[in-house]
Chains A and B, each alone.
Chain A
Amino acid sequence: MAYFIQRLLSMAVTLFLISIITFTVTNILPGDVAMMIMGTQSNPAALANLRENLGLNDPLVYQYGRWIFGMLTGDWGNSLLFKQPIGPIILQKMTASALIVLLSMTIALTLAVPLGVWSAVYKNRWQDTASSSVSILGVSLPDFFWGIMLILLFARALGWFPSSGFVHPNEDFLMALKHAFLPSLALGLGLMAHLTRMTRATMTGILSQEFIRVARAKGLAEKTVIWQYGLANAIGPVMTVAGLQMGYLFGSIIVMESLFNYTGMGWLTYQALLNRDMPLIQATVFVIAAVVMLVNLIVDLLYPFFDPRIQLK
């Protein structure tokens, strides 16, 4: 419990710093909210009037205070682009992205863990070389390349999956999955490469430990030794890296969702940036940071279940 409180406190501090940075950066950028609303050719007097009404002439500290108070109390303001309250927009887009993030992570882990273990078991043999080559290919080619390839193959040529669009899981779960699948696969392939390397390195270390030899000396079958005795020790480190990859993933979805015209957080961030929708930019950055931190906190809280040596205190 003390650990949990400590982590929440440090998360609050980090979020506070992030809020200051996003707020400052968006204010330094040329052009302000009033200009965005009225357009560049607008009447200077009306512009000044709007600035006064929006409180843009107040000291920055006041403006920040108002904004952060709103964020904390649930009043996130209106998007300039969508002319709607930001809160509900983000909630909806977050659901869409959660689907992609979870799906791509699942794809990455189900491919990476067996491949990494396989590599470690056959270390420095052809199996290892093969798996390393696949990994290197995954890392060296950018996500959007995989995206384009997948569209060409699965959407255009085979027609198994839609090439773009988003369906809410509440409407039709199967269709939602179908729409999320290709962008998730493209993201998952990039993620997989890192996770395979990580699993291989961790498992290589574990398999050289004495308890593996002890397990074999008991007469246990090789599959038990590797997939139970060995892998149980690798779950913690692999999950930690997977958690850290979340940040990377939220960066990647900006490109991937735009490519597949999948209207999630990534797409939203891109639209917000494109249209200089300051309130929306601030809110999305803030929410993404919070979500990434939360996921990592959850991974850390789960750690004692993977490894009894870890005590959270």
Chain B
Amino acid sequence: MLARRFGDFATAEDAVQEALLAAATQWPAEGLPDNPRGWLVQVAYRRMIELVRGEAARRDREDRAARRGGDDRRTAPAADEPLTADRDDTLVLLFLCCHPTLSTPSAIALTLRAVGGLSTAEIARAFLVPEATMAQRISRAKQRIRSSGLPFRMPAEDERQARLAAVLHVLYLIFTEGHTASLGDDLRRVDLSEEAIRLTRAMHALLPDDSEVAGLLALMLLTEARAAARTGASGELISLAEQDRSRWDAAAIAEGTALVTRAMARGPVGPYQLQAAIAALHDEAPTAERTDWPQILALYGVLDRLTGSPVVSLNRAVATAMVHGPAAGLAALEALAADPRLTEHHRLDAARAHLHEMAGDRDAAARHYRAAAGRTTSRPEHDYLLMRAARLASGG
């Protein structure tokens, strides 16, 4: 809200931080004000004016005055003024943090800091980098927003969809980053997957009619529902087929399934809804054998046409094998192998290995599992693939 009134994101954020600090010291002693939110806004507002005035003394006043506009912006709102603009402001902030001019790591860091409200130290710890490095990443992102002169307002209708896609992509990356194995300090790290779900839930509340926002939230819930079963006692990966399904989170599955069902009925259907629908079919299967693979294959077909993503084509080939047998799947994979985006990708070899194993060709399967292990940059995946190869080689 402050950022919107003043058009200055970085200073507004500092002002809000100081208001929160004031609240933390005053409220315990003096008791909670009647309207805590209004109180915070008012304190932040006064601080913002001080900051802006101090700034203006140093900088070119005329330039600022020209951009600032009417006098009403210098009047603090009453503490009990209803904050009708809140909803839009959160959205505008998200659009700004995920702006395409920012690099992806910067967009992620800024979103967690400015929208998620995490401290720089928490974000640094979550990504296992020093706090000074993360602080630089955030301040450079703010600098970039400032120097590019991006206005603090809702993107125009014609670019809204593209900008929304960028926001959803950033939220999705935060979610998957949460699956990174860390070196024994889980308790001190923020759970990025939970954080991504929280942010996407907030976004869904702001845009309840957007089917892709609902689809992304559903995808996250339906994936996170399997989290407890995904790794074993020593952190090793357990494949979907071998997971203990009784450990899946039934409430999350029910919520995710209901969300994606409603979203797809309303449409328009997009990639996140399709991926969520596929996740729902996996989650609803009582056993791996009873998975509705024909339905999954059909959904991958639509997703493939919609995205043209090579990784989707790869998953489609695996689904083909589950419906029409490993030979059909392997033939589909060979057709993909020439794609330069896939030739060096460990998942091509992992998929080949899996289908050769299905077909009973243990040597070829072991060879491809080893090749995939050599190419992945994920430690748990590497260990899993190597173990699969070793099991085949030793006749296990």
Partners in one complex: no
- Which of A's residues lie within 8 Å of B, judged by CB? none
